[in-house]
Structures are given as structure tokens and as C-alpha cells.
Structure 1
Amino acid sequence: MGCAMTLRSTYSDPSGLQYRLRAASALLGITDNTTKRYLEESNIQVRRANDDGTKSVAVRLFDPDTLFQIAQWRREKNLLKTPQNGPYVITVDIVKGGTGKTTTAAEITLHLQLAGLRVLAIDLDVQANLTQYMGYEADLTEKDLASYGLNLDAIVGQTFAHVVCPFLNRAPGESVGSLIKMPFGKNGPHLIAADANLGDIEFALSTAKGSREMALDKLLNLAKTGQLPGFDTSKYDVIVFDCPPNVSMTSTAALAAADIVVAPVRLDAFAVKGLSRVIEELKLLRETYKDAIHSELVILATHFAAQLSRIQRMNQALQQYEKQVAPVSISVSEEFPKSLERYIPMSLQKPLSQASNEYKLFTDHLIKRLIAIEEKRSQPDQKGAPS
């Protein structure tokens, strides 16, 4: 009898993702010697290239799960500075497609987890591109499983609509344990995926009574304190929302719930106009809800190429928002569309690339912002309103 085939839980196949020491250290943001020392101290096992009995050189080969284990071990040993009173909400939003919005959501989700934070990414876009980046095919059905060698976990069975709609309708919600996807195992970032049924949120929000824009903020405040039956987010440090690239009540509610709004701006005139729309929406929310809105804006320039005069002009146009512009830009790279096609975040495919390093630096900036927000709110005379 032959051995039974192991069924995958994601449409993508991450089994081929293996990293030598240099790439693993780059993803963790530490030196090679530090990585070696952490392995000795943690007793985390890393396989060698010759473990299969071949005559290969006995180099270490890390996989994503091992990297996430190391990151969580560093956290447990207090070797990392992380926010303590989460989960904080990072909403990635821009009213323009093709800006790198979903790429940014996927990359910061990945790098936050590699930095030792515990992250839940929530796909709010019916196009489900973040879901795809994280290894899932939204249109997959049970009848497709056998032909792709997949198990039931590979299907997007529930979306965030299964949490939001019962909450808005004041109906008891069902347990949503199966809602949480773990594309890289329990030690990696977690995901609430999207499919066509996610559109139910927009209808529910649009027809809700009361302060509709604050609905997600209220929901998450209950969830992080364990007061929302079936949906407890208290174990996470950060929730990352990926919004649809159009004006919607869903996006507005995600902006209102945010501690940080990341607006990826592709350096062309139309994307800068999309940024103006986000800024105006945040302004209106603050005028309406006052100190209940505590979203801080971070503008991330994407598709940067120093040699193109057009991009230089658009980069100069962003200087009117100088205080909000991140200290790092994301360079043009042909690897981004390829990563979506492969259903795996770019940094896990090209860990030594310039773009991966840029997203790592940007994520470090976000962590510093989150810690600063936490410190400011811990002061008795501070309400956490943005400066």
C-alpha cells in the first residue's frame, strides 16, 4: 500500500519556502550570529540540507513556521519592544486601485508577525486579494478540493460578515472559530478571509441605525475585552484591515476604528487625489465624533523610482503632508504582481530583495508609532487624540 497523501490547508503550497541563514536573519531583522545564538538558547529545531541522507552541505534551512516560532520566542523572552495594550487597529485604505494597498496590508501583516507581534489580518474587500496573498482562493468549493489535494480548511467558509451582521442586527452570533485562518500555522499571522458574501457587511452598515460609522469601533472594543460571544481578539496585538479601493460605508467604519491609517500612494497624480479623499473623510469623522476618532495618518509612497522625473514631481507634491509621510518609500518592483499570482507574500518569496527590506523598515516605523500612541494614552491627561 502507498502512503496517504497529505492534504494542504491552503491553495498555495508554501512547502517549498526554505531560507538559508542570511535570508532568515533578514526576515527577522537580526544578524546571522544573533540568529544562531537564539537557536541555541531556544532549542528550536531547524533542519539541515543533508537531513534527507543526501550529500548536500549541512546548511540550515529555515521555513516560515520556524521563523515565526523564533519571533514569538523573542517576544516571550522580552527581547523585543512591542505594544502591550492591544489589539491596535491599522487600516490600509486609499480610494484608488493599483497603489499597492493590498500588497502593503499583506507585507505589514507578515513583518509585524516576524517582529514578534500577534497579528490578525481582516480582508474587507470582496475582490479578496489579501485572501489570495495569504494563500487562499476565494472561489474554491468543496468539489474542487480533491483535484488540488486540499482539505476543508482551504475553503473560505466564513467572512467578517459572519461577525458584523449579527452584531448590527443584535442577534446572537455563532461561534466563529473556523473563521480564523492560519495560513502559516498557529505561530504565523492569522486571517479572516473574504469572498463574494462579504458584501453583506456593506448592506448591513448602510441600513443600520445610530452611529453607523462607529459600528466597527464598538464591535472591536467589545471583542478585545472578551465581551463579544464567539469573537475574542484579546490575544492579538494588531488587527490589520485591508479596505476596498472605493468609497464605501465599510471603509469609513474601518477608518473610524483605526489607531493608524496607512494610505499607500502610488506616485502619480490620480493616487494623490485619492489621498485627498481619505484625508477629507478622516476630517469629517473627527468633526462628527470628536475625540472618539483617534486615527493617525501615515502616508506610504509606493512605486518609487528616483530616475523618473514624473515620480519625483509627485513625490514633491506629497511634501505638503510632510508630517504624515513615512520615512521610507517602496520602490518599483516586478515581484509584487508575481507574488499575488503565487498566493504568497512577496517577502517570503524574495526575502533579500530591496522591496522586502523597505517593507521591513516601514513596519519598524509603524511599531514605533504604535508604542508612542500607547505611551501617550497612558498619560492621565491624554485622550489619545491625534496631534
Structure 2
Amino acid sequence: MRSTFAIVEDVVYRLKAAAALLNISENTLRNHLRDSAMEIQRANKKNPASPAVRLFSIADVFALARWRRDQELVKRVSPEPVVIAVDLIKGGVGKSTTAGELGVQLSLLGYRVLMIDLDVQSNLTQLMGYESDLTIDEAAQNDLDDDAIVTGTFSTICGQYMESKSGRGTRMMDISSVIKYPFGENGPALIPSDTFLGDLEQAFTYAKGNRELVFRNLFKDAAAGNVPGLAISDYDFVIFDCPPSISFSSTNAIAAANLVIAPIRMDSFAVKGLSRLVSEINGLSERSPEVRPQLVILPTHYSTNITRVSRMQHQLQAYKSNLSPTVISSSELFPKTQENYLPLTLQAPTAAPVGEYRLFTEFLLSVIAKNQKKSRTKAEAAV
């Protein structure tokens, strides 16, 4: 039985594709296989008539990524998890796609990633292989085990957390069962969404203290070991997929974030939504000076054949210091990711949009490195 709707056992990669996923050369991959002593299945094991080429599974690739991390071939980018909120008050711009592809790309580089779906539409949850309304009977009918069923969301965690802070002596239960591992323990982790995630907005109305900083305080307490089952310090990155609406959930995600990624669809008028997001970030920073996320604008659905693109490019010049140098091209491949319950990076490692998301991931890592250097310089100057 499977634990997600994605038929991951049917997805295999030859050496070239596996190397592309890991962003290393084929020779480097061969050396890693030798040094790690990992056994990779050969094509002729099942079919003697096939050539004896290696066939890497998704689990194999993520295991190699984790091995690279364990060998310190990949260094931690920050002493604390880098929190990223993917947000824009407009639907259909590529928020869930960006959150999912970025999470997978970072995991393939060897980083530990936790993705959190904050949208009741559950697009990120579906992209990772889960149907949020799946019942036990339906799971059995689809040859899925119990792990395929969404039993909790970030609302489950935050609701318990806010209740524990209410002064009524309530203790948090272990929330580890809420976290999903769609590609095994070496791949990205996911806190899924379902329709009950909407309860979180009502829960905020009863929160003690600053309701805009609940997520931020939750992560601080988790880092101190006070949130059972949420070992937040084990992660290098936490990625929020925010809903396309004004909400306490989005505000909290922005307030907890080091980076806010705003996907801007280049074939629609999304600049008003961007202006609203900038105002929200500035307002949060004024009310809470410790909240200072950096905005990164990612143009998506890019095509030179679309007449609106030149107008959009002109409008975005007002934010040119925040613009990503990489754009994500329009592609008919993206709709298939939801159908197959699998991110495009894992479906088509050498596809052009996958390469663009890889470049964007590298750009983000360079931004984080610069920010870390500035922080160290500032700390040293203060001594």
C-alpha cells in the first residue's frame, strides 16, 4: 500500500537525471555512490533484456542528498531555521507551486525542509500527494495506508499552543503525527491543510498577547523544546504557503519570516496585490521592530508572446531592488503536477521551468548568505 496518491515507485531516474536533481556532475554522483556504498537497482534486475544501467528511485535521490549533508558537503545556511512565507493577495499566481518546488529543490541540495500549507484549498497538500478530505474507506479503495489520511493541520498545532498559553493550565499534546513525509524521512516534511484549517482564524480571536506574533512565538517555544513533536531547530528551512486573502494566518507567516516571496503572474495585473503586501510588511515592522522580512519578487507565467508582459515589467521597476533575476516561464507542464500529485522537479528534472526554479533557489541562498554576513559584521561591531 502507498502513503500518498503519487505512484512514486513508478518514478525512476537514470544517472544523468539523478545528477541533475542533485545539481552535481555525473562523475561526482558516481564518486558519491562509491563513497556512500549505496546500492542502486539496475534495470536488468527486473528485466534481464534491459541494459545494466542504474535506476534511481525518488527515495534514493533524497537519501543521497541527506548523505551529502551528513558528509558536510552542504553547510547549514543559518544557526536558526530560515523562515520563508510565499504570499500575495491574489490567487493563481503560483504560490503553491513555488512553495512546493522550492521545498523540493532545497531538500535535494541536502537541506532539511518543513513546508506548511496555510490555505484551505490545500493545493500544496495535493501537490505533495495528499487529498485533504480522504476518508479511511476511500484510502482502502485506492490502495492507500492510514498515513495518506490528513489527521491534523497547522490549526491543530496553533490551537493547542494558544490554549496552552491561555493560563488555564492546558498542556500541549505531541503533534508529531500531524507531520507528513511524502517522499520518506530524507525528503521534505509537510504539515498539510484541510477545510478545518479555517478554524485557525477564529482561534486567533482568543489568543493572548500580540495576535500577529503567534507563529513567531510558537517557533521560539518549539526551539526551546516546549512544543512536543515539533523539533523546529532540526530544520534549515520552514516554508509557508499562504492563502490568497487577508488573514491572521498570512500576517503571522509574514511576521515569522526572514524572507517573503511574492510570485507575480506576468500575464495578469497583480501589482495592486504586491502594493498591499508591501504595506502589510511595513506596518508589521512599525508595530513590531523585530519583524523585518526581506521581500523577494518572483515573476511567474512569463512569456515573451504575452502583450501584457512589457507593461508588467515597467510597473515592477518600482520594486527592482526586490526583483529576482530569475523568472519562471509559462509551461503546460505545471497543470500536470496536481494531476500526478508530484512536483515538476521530480516529474521532469531536466525541464526548463525546473532549471529556472533551481536558479531561483540558488539566488535565494545567495541572498541568505549576504544577510548572514551582514548580521555577523553588525554583531562584531557591537562588541
Shorter-chain TM-score above 0.5: yes
Letter in 1 for 2:298: L
Find the aligned partners of 1:206 and 1:54 in 2 and give their Cα distance: 64
Letter in 2 for 1:26: A
| Aligned residue in 2 for 1:284 | 283
SS in structure 2 of the partner of residue 47 of structure 1: coil
Q: Is the 8 A contact 2:101 2:345 kept in 1?
A: yes
Q: Is the 8 A contact 1:162 1:173 kept in 2?
A: no
| Aligned residue in 2 for 1:212 | 211
Find the aligned partners of 2:68 and 2:59 in 1 and give their Cα distance: 14
TM-score by structure 2 length?
Answer: 0.95
Where do 5+ consecutive residues of structure 2 fail to align?
A: 165-169
Where do 5+ consecutive residues of structure 1 fail to align?
A: 1-6
Find the aligned partners of 1:250 and 1:25 in 2 and give their Cα distance: 38
SS in structure 2 of the partner of residue 208 of structure 1: coil
| Aligned residue in 2 for 1:56 | 50
Q: Is the 8 A contact 1:156 1:193 kept in 2?
A: yes
The CA deviation string for residues 117-173 of structure 1, in whole angstroms up to 9 with x for no partner, is 000101111111100000001010111121101111000001111110121122311
Letter in 1 for 2:223: K
Q: Is the 8 A contact 2:175 2:228 kept in 1?
A: no
- Would you say how many aligned residue pairs link Structure 1 and Structure 2? 376
The CA deviation string for residues 27-72 of structure 1, in whole angstroms up to 9 with x for no partner, is 1111111111111111122111111142101111111111111111
Letter in 2 for 1:287: E
Q: Is the 8 A contact 1:206 1:249 kept in 2?
A: no
| Aligned residue in 2 for 1:230 | 229
SS in structure 2 of the partner of residue 376 of structure 1: helix
Q: Is the 8 A contact 2:42 2:52 kept in 1?
A: yes
* Correspondence 1:338-349 to 2 at 5 A: 338-349=336-347
In the TM superposition, what is the alpha-carbon distance from 1:196 to its structure 2 partner? 0.8
In the TM superposition, what is the alpha-carbon distance from 1:382 to its structure 2 partner? 8.0
Find the aligned partners of 1:119 and 1:134 in 2 and give their Cα distance: 13
SS in structure 2 of the partner of residue 50 of structure 1: helix
4+ runs of 1 displaced by more than 4 Å?
A: none
| Aligned residue in 2 for 1:352 | 350
In the TM superposition, what is the alpha-carbon distance from 1:96 to its structure 2 partner? 0.4
SS in structure 1 of the partner of residue 361 of structure 2: helix
Identity percentage over the alignment? Answer: 45
| Aligned residue in 2 for 1:144 | 138
SS in structure 2 of the partner of residue 378 of structure 1: helix
Find the aligned partners of 2:110 and 2:370 in 1 and give their Cα distance: 17
TM-score by structure 1 length?
Answer: 0.94
Find the aligned partners of 1:40 and 1:47 in 2 and give their Cα distance: 14
Q: 1:9 aligns with which of 3, 23, 27?
A: 3
Q: Is the 8 A contact 1:82 1:367 kept in 2?
A: no
The CA deviation string for residues 201-239 of structure 1, in whole angstroms up to 9 with x for no partner, is 111113323211111101011112323233221211111
Find the aligned partners of 2:76 and 2:360 in 1 and give their Cα distance: 15
| Aligned residue in 2 for 1:130 | 124
| Aligned residue in 1 for 2:100 | 106
Letter in 2 for 1:377: S
Q: Does 1:321 align with 2:319?
A: yes
* Correspondence 1:254-293 to 2 at 5 A: 254-290=253-289, 292-293=290-291
Which range moves more in the overlay, 108-117 or 302-311? 302-311
Find the aligned partners of 1:179 and 1:269 in 2 and give their Cα distance: 36
